Amino acid sequence: MAEPEVLLEVRGTLGVITLNRPRAVNALTALMAEAMLETLTDWAQDPAVDQVLVRGAGERGLCAGGDIVAIHRDIASGGTQTAGFWATEYRLNSLINAYPKPYIAYMDGLVLGGGVGISAHGSHRLVTTRTRSGMPETTIGFVPDVGGTYLLSRAPGQSGTHAALTGEHLGAAEVLYLGLADHLIDFNRAEELFSALEQTPVADLLPGFILPAPASQLESWRPWLDAAYGHDEVEDIVAALAVLADAGNEEARMSVATLAKKSPTALKLTLASLRRARELATLEEALEQEYRVGLRALASRDFPEGIRAQVIDKDYAPAWNPATLAEVDRELVEASFASLGERELKLNPRVPSDTTTTGGRT
């Protein structure tokens, strides 16, 4: 028999969730999201569970994102399963954000897309020197979701805009600087930490495991990132980066080259999403906005084409339509944020009773 996609157990007073699809770098499926949502809801009320640990099976990472192969299959068949998956996943993200007990996310290895959603909203977010994290959605013609627009719109200066548009995989230093994680620990001591967590509160243990935060390139790049990415039109951002590149800024030159490969429509939707998310008061509002944009993307040309190029045919040569930023319909971008009517997600913001002594992020 096939092993369960997610393993759920209580060890001492520690609830342990292990994503268990190591061959797929623990990519999230609808069943996994449902199991996590149900279990975390139960554990929140269970006096036998004091804190929760989320980790990934295997050595490759916590979670490489949502199962985009399943999403491609659903789009091709005209199905509605993806909308249901996202609705469950976003409710899970909301629950994690306001969880009433310490929620410890072990962000080792790959932590991308949906993996960020089940980790970066937690109360104790731990990265290692092997961490490679980010929101690479523009690469597949999509837009950062799972609360990614909320998180990155609140990163220092325009560093989150750079991370969202380029979709780059980032190391521990950058993840910490962006505010997607709290502490760096040694992956060689992870099992020691997990064992101790079975009986000891995470707040008592962590000081003995935390390593000094490494220097962040994004922080050193802050002046030119803020200048280039502070514009509200993608064309203006690219033009500003090109000027910097012509002046000898190699990182800006690489950014121009990276952005040229992304879906023009996804770039415009991502920037608009970030700017709007910056003005939203709660994570739930951002998730509701991401749901609107996401459902419109399911009916787009670029999203299934991006998945095809990256993981189905693996030719890495998507045919974006439209192919240039100038051709992207401004009205289409605006329409992506319009109400879904009866299909609205309608999340209820949850405020934990005491985030300072339990868990949860505000």
| DSSP letter assigned to residue 337 | T
CA distance 188 to 191: 7
Catalytic residues: 66, 114, 137, 145
For strands 110-112 and 6-11, give the pairing.
unpaired
What values do phi and psi take at 89, rounded to 5? -60, -40
Nearest to 361 by CA among 98, 147, 37, 177: 98
Query: φ, ψ for residue 210 (rounded to 5)?
Result: -75, 135
**Residue 137: what are its φ and ψ, rounded to 5°?**
-65, -35
- Our measurement of the distance from residue 34's CA atom to the centroid of its chain's CA atoms, rounded to an integer in Å, reads 18
Distance separating alpha carbons of residues 116 and 146, to the nearest angstrom: 8
Alpha-helix residue ranges (DSSP H) falling in 198-342: 202-205, 217-220, 222-229, 234-246, 250-259, 264-277, 283-298, 302-307, 330-335
Amino acid at 28: L
Determine contact, residues 70/89, Cβ cutoff 8 Å: no
DSSP string, 293-308: HHHHHHTSSHHHHHHI
Tokens 């240039």 locate to 324
The residue assigned the tokens 């699809």 is 21
Tokens 């879904």 appear where? 340
How many residues are listed for the chain in this entry? 362
